[in-house]
Amino acid sequence: MNQPTRKTGESGTSGESVDSGTGAGSGTGTESGTGGGGSGRSGERGKSRMVERVFAVLNRDPMEAPHRRRTDTVIAAAVGLLAVVLALTVDRERVPDALGWLLLAGSFVPLVWRRSHPLAVLLIVVACVGPYHALDNAHAAPLPGSLIALYTVAASAPPLRTLMASFGVVTVATVVMLTFNSHRELEVLRITGWILAAVVLGAQLQIYRRYIAAVIGRAERAERTREEEVGRRVAEERLRIARDLHDLLAHSITLIGVQTSVAAHVLVAKPDRLDRDAVAKALDEIAGTCRDARAELRTTLQVLRGDGKDPEGPLPDLAALPDLVRAAEGAGVHVDLAVTTPQGRLTPATSAAAYRIVQESLTNAVRHAGPAAHVRVAVEPSETALRVRVTDDGRGPRKSTAAPGFGIVGMRERARSTGGTLTAGPRPGGGFEVLATLPFDEREATA
């Protein structure tokens, strides 16, 4: 009885051990996998940041880099340490003496000022390295400092100066090596190769940086051009809306004023024999003018609001001219309208410009031509343009000391916006004339 119990206990113990081991193993494996994935992603991000930093350094002008003096001091210290190591380990038979160490220091200490005075630093380095090689010291030790000084000149100086500096360095190196070590032709070739490599690398990097600067400059100029274009379009749109509001409000207010004067005259002139029909007609015309003005004003304000919705109703065109004529006749002038529709389809801009020119001309006639004036409106196409002529036989605008309005100026701007012209002035026989020529575009001309 006890033995099976012990086996069961042992089995249970073993089972617990296996389960715990499995659980521990699974947990460890999962955590390890998760940790490995996280490490991989963080490693990729680190590499990406490193690449961005490298390209930022390559694209940046070395003369405008932050902390230049501190960076160059660190570079000079690193180059000096490398030069000491090379002097002590590469060629033990040519370890420099005291003068040699002093000349070797002259090959890397001036690098602290390499960006502020690149050519002067190169001259100092060459002046120290020449005697150093002439004393037959370890020739590999001053090479890093010399190459960095030459690279700095190639990366920052004009091409002609770089060419002259590299030629001078090669000449000095060749003369020194062949004068004091006539059997080291291969060493001369090796040093010359390193010099040329430093020059090519610096010049290529300078060309690359100039290319990047040119690309950035073109992008900035394009952005400024786009901003100027947007500003110009905004200004043109504001001017167009201002013209629309002026034409609409001036026309409506003028008609309402005239019709209100008619109603007031009827009420005051013969109060005992009130002409109710005349008063009702004047009030109806006032109400109709208000409705039309409200509809056009809503359309204009929707464009000004710029909420992305299409304006309600189409732009005014030649088909709406009879309504203008009826409103002007309700204000007391007689209007003859003659419209010849051109073949094909006018652009909305041309139709709207013709409508607004007629509207402003009728408004001026109502205001200045006097009572019972006769106005003639003629709209007819020619071979290349739409001609709009509005004439009246009234007295014309009175001389006033007040500031001139913007009606005629606005009409000229509307005609100019379609590539046309407009003239306005008194007629020789009396009255006033407005003549506009609005050219067709290519599609209208060939329709």
- For 234-292, the pLDDT digits (tens) are 777 677 777 777 666 766 777 777 777 767 766 676 666 666 777 777 777 777 777 77
Q: What is the rounded CA–CA span in Å between residue 240 and residue 349?
A: 11
Residues linked to residue 335 through DSSP beta bridges, in sequence order: 375
pLDDT at res. 389: 93
Query: Residue 435: its pLDDT value, please?
Result: 93
301 near 332, Cβ under 8 Å?
Answer: no
Instruction: Convert the pLDDT of each residue in 375-385 to its tens digit.
Output: 999 999 988 88
Candidates 397, 392, 399; CA nearest to 431 is: 392
CB contact at 8 A, 286 and 260: yes
pTM: 0.45
**pLDDT value at position 423?**
92
Give the list of residues 6+ apart from residue 447 with CB closer than 8 angstroms, or none. Answer: 342, 343, 344, 345
Query: In which residue ranges of the chain is pLDDT below 50?
Result: 1-35, 308, 310-311, 401-403, 442-447
